[in-house]
Structures are given as structure tokens and as C-alpha cells.
Amino acid sequence: MKPTASLALIGGDLRQAFLAAQFAHDGHTVAVCALERYEFPPGISAFARPEQCPEGVQAVILPMPVLRDELHLNAPLSNTSLPIGPLLDALPPGMLVLGGAIPEPVFRRAARGRLRVIDYLKREELAIRNAVPAALAKE
């Protein structure tokens, strides 16, 4: 049996919505927040505010870029504006938080809440996989 994860995706654009749908299709438990303008397939639950993140979530995935300005989550598919500080404060200590293009103030705020944060844009795997298509596109 393939291991599954319980994931929460908060904010973002169509890339984040498609990622949520793909995770659900692959058998993972998926909950979303700040993506209410997108119609998800059955099986993906939604929660209205970060403090309502379902219990048992193993990782929170934030968009790329994480912020739309210095203070707010990048969430063009949301009907609300979420300040990043309270969002991070609502997550339990030890939570794994993944996001792209995370500015240093967000890392510092997350450290105060003892969150484990990874900027996937800085991962070598992503850089290598993006370099090949980009190089081929220039030919």
C-alpha cells in the first residue's frame, strides 16, 4: 500500500489549485484555504481561516511566491486578504511549511512559532528540473 499524507494548501493561484487536485488524485488527504474561487473536485475539504486547519495535517503548502506584498499571503483565488503573520501564528509548533520565494521576515516569524520552513524555490532539485526546460526553450 502506498503511504499517504495529510496536506493543507493555503492561498495561491491555479498552480496551487492544480497541485491540491493532483495530491487528492494520488490518494492524499487534502484541505484548502484561501482558494474559494476555485471549484475543487469532491474529496477536497475547505477551511475558512488558517486557525481552522484540520487536525492531523502533516504539512502546509504555501504558494510561490508566498507574499503578494510585504504583509499578505499571495492568494488571488481568495475572497479575503490574509496577513502572513497571523497565518503563521495559527499553525502548531513543529509544523512543516513549504513555500516558494519566502522572504527573510517570514522565516523569522515562522521561527518564533517553531515552524519548520522550506523554500522549495531554493531546492537544488527544483533548480535542476527548471533549468533543462528553460535551456531547451532558448534553442
For the chain, what's the residue count?
139
Distance CA 63, CA 101 (A): 9
pLDDT of residue 82: 97
pLDDT of residue 91: 97
Residue 104 lies in a domain: yes
Number of domains in the chain: 1
- Structural domain boundaries enclosing 37: 6-138
Give the chain's residues under pLDDT 70: 1, 126-139
pLDDT of residue 124: 77
Distance CA 119, CA 66 (A): 9
Residue 1 lies in a domain: no
CATH of the domain at 92: 3.40.50.720
pLDDT of residue 61: 98
pTM of the shown model: 0.90
